[in-house]
Amino acid sequence: MSISDDVALTRQGAWARRHSLSFDGGGVRGYSSLLILQKLIAEIKDIEVNGSDPATSSYHPEPYNEPFNSSRNSGNGNIVSSHQAREETHRYLPCHYFDFIAGTSTGGLIAIMLARLRMSVDDAIEVFEDLSKEVFSGSRAPVWFPWIYTYNHKNLERVIKKIVDKRIPTTDPNWSTREKEFFTELTGICNCIVVANGKTKQANTPYIFRSYISPPTTGDRKRSANFIRNPGVRDHYPIWMVARATSAAPGYLREMHIEGREFIDGAIGFNNPTEELYDEVEYLYGTKANSLILSIGTGSHEPRSSNFKPIGVVADALRMATDCQRIHKNMEQRCDREEGFGYYRLNVENNLGDIKIGAYRELPRIKKITEEYLSMPDVRKTLHEVAEILVKNRRDRISKNIDRWEAFCCDTRYQCICGPHKRCQYGYHERTRHRFVEHLKRDHEITNDDEKKKIIEESKNIFIQSMAKRAFTVRQS
């Protein structure tokens, strides 16, 4: 199913309203962003549980699906993740409330975890704690480059590969390789956007990695694509490569080369990806498609003089690059101009931005500062307001099209196993249960309820496995 098919299927009510989440870059300060999101999910959980139709998970009314290799019960002694705290929010996934999750640099890593790997915020926090320690306390770059790269990029690569392997196990080598690509054939689910900088001879230009099909700039789209980055490209790269590309901060981690192109940290000029996200949604679905964008920052700071010290020059350049207020002001103006568009920004302002991007030992301090911010009445009010909007939209979608909800929240596909039929022999599949039942009745004349139920359960998600086998066969031929 293409993006256009997805639009045709959902161009009604709650399914036409696009809700998006954006994360700034900021190294270990991304920990603050996750803590803010955790508080939002806690608000969501309270509303869901106390509603007229209590929902014990964000899958509701579908049964809760415990994620494979969840770290929820690991008991690893991390800073935030007590068992009691995890029990509060782990059953409510951000990817069930947002249509797009975007990020730059560290925010890009977070977006990958929440959208592409569909993790709970609690699992993402545990992973982030471990990642920060392993990457920023590990071995430095090779001794012959000590003044260029502060940290060894191989440590980050190893950690990201480990995260992906844990979430996508290698039960079938052919399929798992396909699944570990950033681009996914699955449509109609929460999409992931990661912003990096692609270096050219002339300048650094932003490059958007997409987990979904982006149509080329033709027809009406061409007129609205003035600021769309690399449309029409399918990013069939391993997830770890995309994560490395967006986090290759100059002076900290070595640049990433993909198919002959050099990528560096998206934070250099595009640390706040909210405008890129807004334009992307409008490009895909048309004007008025953006209903809500929540932007989460990594702290503000005051510029400092470098005093001509090499290390200071690099540090100050990065500090200035991570000042996202200009984008925030632009988004506020868009919100004022456009009726029906809600824009929210949550960003700790109490000296959080002064913490260096690799200071992993400062995680307890980041937690303390963020908790103080989250206790402010205005912040609590904003969190509750956003949570109410997200919960209402989720429930409205279920009431409008429950089959569509099953596909969105569970990644389901139905591939016909009845054959022979002129369409079934080519791997005929449907995105929703309703359409699949119509196919069984129309093309196979199956009307017996018990027989239909048996075929439906056996056909569910077989499409995913067959796609992998066909893709592998094509690559081998």
Q: Is the peptide bond before 63 cis (omega within 30 degrees of 0)?
A: no
pLDDT digits (tens, 9 = 90+) for 244-277: 999 887 777 888 988 888 888 877 778 899 999 9
pLDDT at 234: 82
**CA-CA distance, 252 to 249, in Å (whole number)?**
5
What is the pLDDT, as a whole number, of residue 262? 86
Q: What angle do CA 238, 113, 44 make, to 5 degrees?
A: 155
| Four-CA torsion 311, 313, 319, 323, nearest 10 degrees | -170
Return the H-helix or E-strand segment holding 131: helix 121-136
d(CA 327, CA 274): 7
CB 415 within 8 Å of CB 429:
yes
Helix and strand numbers (H, E) in the chain are 20, 10
The stretches in the chain having pLDDT less than 50 are: 1-12, 72-77, 80-85, 143-144, 146-147, 222-223, 305-314, 316-318, 320-322, 463-477
Q: Are 355 and 365 in contact (CB under 8 A)?
A: yes
Phi-psi region of 117 (alpha: psi -120 to 50; beta: other; left: phi over 0): alpha
Of residues 321, 331, 312, the one with CA closest to residue 27: 321
Q: Do 220 and 279 contact (CB within 8 A), yes or no?
A: no
Residues 6+ apart with CB under 8 A from 226: none
Long-range Cβ contacts of 155-162 (<8 Å, 24+ apart): 156/131, 156/243, 156/244, 156/247, 156/253, 157/240, 157/244, 158/134, 159/130, 159/131, 159/134, 159/135, 160/109, 160/131, 160/239, 160/240, 160/243, 160/244, 161/240
Q: How far apart are the C-alpha atoms of 27 and 358, rounded to whole Å?
A: 6
pLDDT given for residue 337 in this prediction:
83
Q: What is the CA 345 to chain-centroid distance, rounded?
A: 17
pLDDT at 446 (0 to 100):
87
Token representation of residue 24 = 């700034």
* CA distance linking residue 79 with residue 81, whole number of Å: 6
Residues 6 or more apart from 208 whose CB is under 8 A from it? 193, 194, 195, 229, 230, 276, 280
Q: What's the pLDDT at 151?
A: 77
Q: E strands of 143-260, at which residues?
A: 191-199, 204-210, 256-258
CA 116, 119, 121 angle in degrees (round to 5)?
125
Task: Give the per-residue pLDDT at 313.
Answer: 37
b/e burial code for range 141-163 (CB count within 10 A of at least 16 → b): beeeeeeebbbbbebbbebbeeb
Neighbours of 226 (CB within 10 A): 9
Contact 175, 125 (CB under 8 A): no
Q: Return the closest-CA partner of residue 17 out of 248, 288, 417, 256.
A: 288
Of the candidates 114, 109, 103, 94, the one whose C-alpha atom is nearest the C-alpha of residue 296 is: 103
Does the N-terminal peptide bond of residue 142 adopt cis geometry, omega within 30 degrees of 0?
Answer: no
pLDDT of residue 314: 46
Q: What is the pLDDT of residue 75?
A: 43
Residue in this structure with the two tokens 């989250």, named with its chain if needed: 374
Give 294's contacts (C-beta < 8 A, 6+ positions apart): 19, 20, 21, 22, 40, 98, 344, 345, 346, 386
Mean pLDDT, all residues of the chain: 80
Residue 186 pLDDT: 73
* Contact residues for 100 (Cβ-Cβ < 8 A; gap 6+): 18, 20, 21, 115, 190, 191, 192, 193, 277, 280, 281
pLDDT tens sequence across 30-87: 999 999 999 999 999 999 999 888 999 999 998 887 765 555 444 444 554 444 445 5
Q: Name, in order, each residue with C-beta under 8 angstroms of 20's C-beta and a sequence gap of 6 or more.
A: 98, 99, 100, 101, 102, 277, 278, 281, 290, 292, 293, 294
